[in-house]
Amino acid sequence: MELKNMVALVSRTGRQMQRYNFHGDRQGGWENDESIEDAALRETVEEAGVVGDVQHKLGKWNFKNKSNDTGYESHMFPLLVKEQLDFWPEKDVRQRLWISVGEARKVCQYWWMKEALELLVNRLTTQPNEANEDNVSLSQSMKSNL
């Protein structure tokens, strides 16, 4: 799948292609016609307007939505960002914001995202010749208050 060509498309919507695990939990934005890595790449283009290389998976988390009636399964991957796009499918409903790891710890609302962040920081700080926590930046794609 060529990501450059996807930028001209609108975000995928609907649940007809959505994957579910054996418990009936929705598996994030991962759809039947793509690999999990392709789904991660597509989601970063759609939601944050960034293109890059998907790194080794951090893990899998199961959680319920805010009303506690729908289960989700989330697979988290770090992305080595290679390009930041000026226009992307959800630009009008999301704001791309680059923040430090310390700031991300403060504003992250979900326990499973905080765990993924800590795993990423651990990975980056324990690998030789890799970035340390002080120069790791994260992209947070947030819903705008429209």
Domains of the chain: 3-143 (3.90.79.10)
| Residue 94 CA to its chain's centroid (Å) | 13
pTM over 0.85: no
CA dihedral 123, 125, 126, 128 (to 10 degrees): 110
Q: Mean pLDDT across the stretch 51-65? A: 91
pLDDT of residue 129: 55
pLDDT tens string 18-55: 667 776 665 586 667 888 898 899 889 999 999 999 99
